[in-house]
Chains A and B, each alone.
Chain A
Amino acid sequence: MKTLVYAEHDNASLKDATLAVVTAASQIGEVHVLVAGSGCGAVAAQAAKIAGVTTVHVADDAAYAQQLAENVAPLVASLMASHDAFLAPATSNGKNIAPRVAALLDVMQISDILSVESADTFTRPIYAGNAIATVQSSDAKKVITVRGTAFAKAEETGGSATIEAVSGSGDSGTSTFLSAEIAKQERPELTSAKIIVSGGRALKDAETFAATILPLADKLGAGVGASRAAVDAGFVPNDYQVGQTGKIVAPEVYVAVGISGAIQHLAGMKDSKVIIAINKDEDAPIFQVADIGLVGDLFTVVPELVGKL
């Protein structure tokens, strides 16, 4: 079995999300990596060093600079003639591209897998993670997205894969990248942060959120997340959202501040190793999953905590 892993990158460096996918792919068969981008030679060199990767295919073309699904999916589909399984990270990029590849191959995708049971059988969460389904695919080729938090990261070094240039049909002419507003984050990225401090609706407004949550995150060297309510209310940008339809995180420590714990939020963080909840409502559902709970007014508790850390 030959697998093709879709490398997550920004043309300059390879993203960690790729490493977990390599681990998942290695449980299915031989691991090849596709780097589709523009001026992405450094990424390919990085991918070639990942332990367990045997071949890196590089498609370096201006048409792939933004990895638009319309351009990338036909490239992947053509490479799948010589691979048995395509695996992409369940990132916004992977989720955008993989189903387009699946349909081109007439394959039913298996989304967001948590484990590889065999080459055709996988587990995946359904109903916001309230149930785990074991599914078996009858398709000859597999198209899969991988939940990054469910697999260990492959070693970044130790491999010496051969790098091969490949090319696809280039620009489909149907879509154009216009702009990106990517928040410059000096904090750890949510999906790879070891510690996350998240705030909920109780934080009142954007200023209060920043004044309360950020000092604590700074003290702990933590990434910052939020509940859907906090994002919808405009306290923080949308990519802070942790939950069923936002980011799925599993840090060592998750500190939920003023978050009641709706099932959709729990779906995004309940695999965290240690959950700490601070909430003034002692009946809040968040306490049912928290390892350590503190009932109290966050506006007095959090500053006190920051002072004592």
Chain B
Amino acid sequence: MKIIVPVKRVIDYNVKPRVKPDGSGVDLANVKMSMNPFDEIAIEEALRLREKGVATEVIAVSVGPDKAQETLRTALAMGADRAILVVAEDVEPLGVAKILAKIVEEEQPGLVILGKQAIDDDSNQTGQMLAALTGRPQGTFANTVNVSGDSVHVAREVDGGLQTVSLKMPAIITTDLRLNEPRYASLPNIMKAKSKPLAQKTPADYGVDVTPRLKTLKVVEPPVRSAGIKVADVDALVAKLKEMGVAA
């Protein structure tokens, strides 16, 4: 069984994004970029399934700029077998899902494991859209994944707790934070990753129109919260709480 893992190159988790003064977007020039953290978890889960003998091949896919090659090399260094880069800038989740649906049609994976959301646009859509386009069931926000026979049991992080569903494979899974802890790529594996196959494609190769449906009119900083006061001790805090009517 093959597993496809889509990955996205995004601003690094630890970098505080800055809005461009002209309101056209977020300034990404000279900013550290990394693999979307949820996608690292997705790669890790796929690798674990391969190590358990459930999967035979892990294919990392990215739809993004040329530089997303680096992200794919990271996936290969973690242990993915090969990679596909579909070169296109600023493709919306719907467009990405359409491209992935074509790749799924070609590769026929038993599972596609995606991050539940990218930390740049925070859309949380691509996995669900891919599931719809391929007519496959979806296990979103996965906390635990267990493949048994031709079905996969997914415990999902939902409001209030966990929900477990059984999905008929082939299926689509999106990862939540606690699914696993991704491994680091070792230096020998980073070297090895350089010679693993990485195919380059374009949306046109798949016959997918990725014209955006949403137009960003402007991007602004959120209202700034200014720091308030510091109180000296608990008594002063209690007095404040009483003033606010929170404490009697």
Contact = CB atoms under 8 A, between A and B. Distances in A.
Contacts of B231: 292-294
A257 to B, nearest CB: 12
B162 A180 contact: yes
B237 A292 contact: yes
Interface of B: 11, 13, 16-17, 19, 26, 38, 92-94, 97, 116-117, 119-133, 135-138, 140-141, 143, 153, 156-168, 171, 176-178, 212-222, 225, 227-231, 233-238, 240-241, 244, 246-247
Contacts of A91: 159
Nearest to A278: B237
A129 B222 contact: yes
Contacts of A175: 137-138, 165-168
Question: Interface residues of A: mostly helix, strand, loop or mixed?
Answer: mixed
Interface of A: 66, 68-70, 73, 91-93, 95-104, 106-112, 121, 125-139, 172-183, 185, 191, 195, 219-220, 228, 231-232, 237-239, 244-245, 247, 252-253, 263-264, 270, 274-276, 282, 287-296, 301, 304-305, 308-309
Which of B121, B130, B156, B158 counts the most chain A CB atoms within 10 A?
B158
B233 A294 contact: yes
13 contacts: A70-B137, A70-B138, A99-B127, A102-B125, A103-B130, A103-B133, A108-B93, A111-B125, A135-B217, A174-B137, A178-B165, A288-B227, A294-B237
Given A108-B213, A309-B247, 6 more contacts: A102-B94, A107-B94, A131-B219, A245-B116, A274-B244, A288-B225
A100 B157 contact: no
Contacts of B214: 108, 110, 135-138
A287 B228 CA distance: 8
B124 A111 contact: yes
A162 to B, nearest CB: 30
Contacts of B132: 73, 99-104
Question: Interface residues of B: mostly helix, strand, loop or mixed?
Answer: mixed
Given A99-B132, A128-B122, A220-B246, A135 B140 contact: no
Contacts of B26: 126-127, 130-131
Contacts of A232: 177-178
A101 B131 CA distance: 10
Contacts, number: 256
A183 B160 contact: yes
A292 B16 contact: no
Contact of A132 (B121, B222, B244): B222
Contacts of B126: 99
Contacts of A95: 124, 128, 140-141
Contacts of B163: 66, 177, 179-181
A294 B129 CA distance: 46
B247 A220 contact: yes
Contacts of A292: 228-231, 237, 240
A239 B17 CA distance: 27
B138 A183 contact: no
Which of A130, A177, A239, A288 counts the most chain B CB atoms within 10 A?
A130
Contacts of B247: 219-220, 309
A96 B247 CA distance: 39
A301 B218 CA distance: 44
A129 B222 CA distance: 7
Contacts of A133: 216, 218-219
A174 B136 contact: yes
A274 B177 CA distance: 28
B238 A308 contact: yes
A110 B235 CA distance: 46
Which of B126, B153, B213 counts the most chain A CB atoms within 10 A?
B213
Contact of B143 (A103, A125, A238, A244): A238
A111 B126 CA distance: 12
Given A108-B92, A108-B94, A126-B120, A131 B221 contact: yes
